[in-house]
Amino acid sequence: PHAGAVRGMQDKDNLVNWRHTNMMAKFFWTATRVLRPGGLIQVSSSSTAGGVQENKMLAAAESAGYKLVNRFWFHDWRLAGYNRVYGDYRDSDKRKRQVLVTATGVQDDKTAPYRNQMPHQDTCYVFELIRKPTGPPKLEKPPGKQQVLSAVDCCRCGLVCPKNRRSYFGEAHLKARGPHEILQGAERERAVMKLFSEERFVNLAAPGDLKWATG
């Protein structure tokens, strides 16, 4: 499970991590509408994922009326041999990394087809519905406008990144002028509001929580 990458942000960043948490909360709650008590849901995810974090996923399931009844390594499942991909630009050097694995016989964070999440960390979680929820899903509140504005830098190309990652993107973005100029003032504010008013943000927030971005 993944709520989708946000350019310039890491999944674990507080500014966007709430999207992954709320996606799972909504998923578990919605599934109760088609499951009877005793019904099972199996979720496969990395135990070290930065997006759908294990502790938050377990809490979302419990809140929706589920109990964790089994947990095992993905390698033990009959579907364990599937091809891992990101589904975006990060797959572009996948072939190169696979060649490194073949040549060296070593698979680590630099050579794995899916970096930072190693296959041996993939876990299957089996949840059983114990009771139907009595209320709506409990959702994390997204950050407010001033919190976001104080925490990010914006590039004219559309990149929005936390200030503490400015050095990471600084070689190509956030320049003094040009197509990758760092935005200031009203332009910067509009860039932030444009990002947070996208459906992939609004649809994962409680009604009204992103009113500052959507008007």
- Mean model confidence pLDDT for the chain: 87
HEC profile for the chain?
CCCCCCCCCCCCCHHHHHHHHHHHHHHHHHHCCCCCCCCEEEEEEECCCCCCCHHHHHHHHHHCCEEEEEEEEHHHCCCCCCCCCCCCHHHCCHHHHHHHHHHHCCCCCCCCCCCCCCHHHEEEEEEEECCCCCCCCCCCCCCCHHHHHCCEEEECCCCEEEHHHHHHHCCCCCECCCCCEECCHHHHHHHHHHHHCCHHHHCCCCCCCCHHHHC
pLDDT band at 212 (very low <50, low <70, confident <90, very high): very high
- Of the candidate ranges 21-25, 98-102, 175-179, 195-199, the one whose mean pLDDT is the lowest: 98-102
Q: What pLDDT score was predicted for residue 215?
A: 78
Q: How many CB atoms lie within 10 A of CB 87?
A: 9
The token pair that represents 70 in the structure block? 């089994």
Average pLDDT of span 56-69: 97
Average pLDDT of span 83-96: 65
For the chain, how big is the Rg over CA atoms in Å?
A: 20
The token pair that represents 94 in the structure block? 């996948």
Residue 127 pLDDT > 70, yes or no?
yes
pTM of the model: 0.83
Q: Which amino acid is at 3?
A: A
- What is the spatial distance between Cα 199 and Cα 29, in angstroms, rounded to a whole number? 20
Average pLDDT of span 148-159: 96
